[in-house]
Chain A
Amino acid sequence: MVRYIFARLLTLIPIMLGVSMLIFGTFHLIPGDMVDIMMGDEVAGDPKAAQELRKSLNLDKPIYIQYGYWLKNALRGNLGKSFTSGKPVMEMILSRLPVNIELMIIAMVFIIFMGIPLGMLSAYKQFTFVDGLLRIVTIMGYAIPNFWLATLVVLVSSLYFQWLPVLKYIPFSEDPLRNILYLLIPGFVLATSTLSYIVRMTRSSVLDTLRQDYVRTARAKGMTEKIVLSVHVLRNSLIPVVTVLGFQIGVLIGGLVLTEHVFVLPGVGRLILLAIEQRDFMIVTGSILFLSTVFVSLNLIVDIIYAFLDPRIRY
């Protein structure tokens, strides 16, 4: 098991190198000279200032050296300074991160503690009304774009429930309880499509597992249904679900950007969107690098959980 973790960690290195190269490469594909973009109108045409700026950003050196500097800085946690505000990018990201973390946690709680049980329920009651209803709901839920759902929620709450706490954000430091309360609805909206998907996945996975011979054997041996369920069925049916979760995390991260946009939450997603609008590519590249690193790490954790559940794949 430890060897497996170690091996997976090793594969992270070439992947992250590739990711950083891809990000850096697209950064430099931007049409237009960066210095001109940064300088703006005031000092346009002033060659000396332009030259100085160029030197300070290492733009006069060949690309692979620029990449080296960028990577070295990034590994130290220095993602550069924003073009528009001058503040360190890392600081801007970290100050906004808590919102995202909360949203992700809330969404994952819904997905894991509501999705998986519902999926199992749906499987056990396979041909009943409950199952049918859940199947319809989840098929719809998966097709509804979460940004539309978010917009509808905002619409409904502003029209009919003036008191519904959806349009506000209260920082954690001010009032932890209300902070979480106000994030519940955005978190749920974020989770919706993944939730539907997980319910269906769990359902089909449980159904497959229930058909397996070893379940029949366990029952024939006289084990109580409860033990059969929790030991054999649960662990084995979770395996495909966990595989899927890894990919869904990526979907969720994307969904964060959309949800934040609609609910106007001060998270990293909005940071990226605003930065793109303002052509502040320092922020964009820094935050995308950051988010990708987070994503890859989360995937690693999911893989480890997967290896924990399924001894067959450890090597």
Chain B
Amino acid sequence: MDKAILADSVSGKDNRKKDEILSPSKLAWQTFKKQKLGIIGSLMVLFLIFIALFGDFISPYDPLQMHTKDSLQGPSAKYWLGTDRFGRDQLSRLINGTRISIIVSFGSMFLAAAAGVIIGLVSGYYGGRIDSIIMRLLDVVFAFPMLLLALIMVAILGPNLRNVLFAIAFTQHARFARIVRGSVLSVKEKEYIEGIRSVGAKNRIIISQFILPNVISPIIIQATWGLSIAIMYEAALSFLGMGTQPPMPSWGLMLNESRRFMEIAPWLTIFPGLSIVFAVLGFNLMGDALRDALDPRLAQR
């Protein structure tokens, strides 16, 4: 329909058959594949997910186990990334920390997206006063700087992993809701909706068959961006002591703990930070490539 494009008009080397008609999702995949940075980003993300899933089998030591005799050692053959003041192996802790980051980021984004979709659908589809009220409420959420909002929620609810997840989801859900609402509004007015409705289609059919598919790609883009934000904010909250608590090996917490012995053990500061950069970078690159691939405006280039 809108985005079916002949194979010829997509520039670059392709080994597709000439004149093959591309569906929107196929086109998106082709565009995505060509972005080298996006591939790198996706590989980074897949790597992280792999580590999060299988970390227990890879880590050389138990992340919580203290080898007090070997505390504050630099990277060596025995402890690849060194040890902290309790003698815990940093490599194992970083590997385990990956799981925390992945859980918090995916969990909070899932929650935020789910809540946002529901709110956005209700607001956009039913319109009227419900819409106005919901939009006002969303405006209130937008009126807060993100970190402050997350901070106040964690401060009230108590600093632990679950509350961090919830707090991050809360700060992001309004964004999803707005995007979904926008999508819903743009589809709602199209004529084929009127046509379908006139032959008696029920609301939920209209929503699921026509509106949701259009909503999916902005959601995916927003979710990927949100994933990198979530990792950053979980680390920030843990860094401030408002997130995961010791002895959990979350990257932000490791950074915070490293500050005391920074001068004699700089490796404690460098590696957790690099992990955060790696994760955020991976999601960012993947997200950028996804956005380029799914953004209809760029389909013509």
Contact = CB atoms under 8 A, between A and B. Distances in A.
Interface residues of A, number: 48
B143 A15 contact: yes
B139 A155 contact: no
B19 interface: no
B140 A18 contact: yes
Contacts of B37: 139
A277 B273 CA distance: 25
B152 A295 contact: no
B3 to A, nearest CB: 20
Contacts of A148: 255, 269, 272-273, 276-277
A154 B262 contact: yes
A251 B140 contact: no
Contacts of A158: 262-263
A254 B147 contact: yes
Given A147-B255, A151-B262, A295 B239 contact: no
Interface string B257-285: 01100110010011011001100110011
Nearest to B144: A292
B43 interface: no
Nearest to A31: B158
Contacts of B152: 23, 26, 284, 288
Task: Tell me the dominant secondary structure on chain B's binding face.
Answer: helix
B114 interface: no
B202 to A, nearest CB: 35
A140 B157 CA distance: 34
B257 to A, nearest CB: 11
B299 to A, nearest CB: 16
Contacts of A142: 280, 284
A257 B266 contact: no
Contact of B151 (A14, A276, A296): A276
A203 interface: no
Interface in B194-237: 228, 232, 235-236
B281 A139 contact: yes
A261 B139 contact: no
Interface in B124-151: 136-137, 139-140, 143-148, 151
A139 B144 contact: no
Given A27-B156, A147-B236, A258-B240, A139 B284 contact: yes
A257 to B, nearest CB: 6
Given A147-B239, A155-B266, A257-B151, A295 B156 contact: no
B153 interface: yes
A159 interface: yes
B143 A296 contact: yes
Nearest to A208: B297
Contacts of B273: 144-145, 148, 151-152
Contacts of B266: 155, 159
B237 to A, nearest CB: 10
Given A26-B156, A140-B277, A257 B263 contact: no
Contacts of A284: 152, 155
A145 B285 contact: no
A143 B44 CA distance: 13
Interface in A122-170: 139-140, 142-145, 147-148, 151-152, 154-155, 158-159
Nearest to A16: B143
B236 A288 contact: no
B164 interface: no
B242 interface: yes
A124 B277 CA distance: 29
Given A19-B140, A250-B146, A155 B269 contact: yes
Contact of A30 (B156, B235, B259, B281): B156
A151 B147 contact: no
Given A19-B140, A145-B236, A292 B145 contact: yes
B143 A292 contact: yes
B112 to A, nearest CB: 16
25 contacts: A19-B143, A26-B152, A143-B228, A143-B281, A143-B284, A144-B277, A148-B269, A148-B272, A148-B276, A151-B255, A151-B258, A152-B273, A154-B262, A158-B262, A250-B146, A254-B148, A254-B236, A257-B147, A258-B236, A258-B240, A261-B240, A272-B151, A288-B152, A291-B148, A295-B143
Given A30-B156, A144-B277, 16 more contacts: A11-B139, A14-B136, A26-B152, A26-B153, A143-B280, A143-B284, A145-B276, A147-B236, A148-B277, A151-B255, A151-B262, A159-B266, A257-B151, A272-B148, A277-B241, A284-B152
Interface of A: 11, 14-16, 18-19, 21-23, 26-27, 29-30, 139-140, 142-145, 147-148, 151-152, 154-155, 158-159, 249-251, 253-255, 257-258, 261-262, 272-273, 276-277, 284, 288, 291-292, 295-296, 299
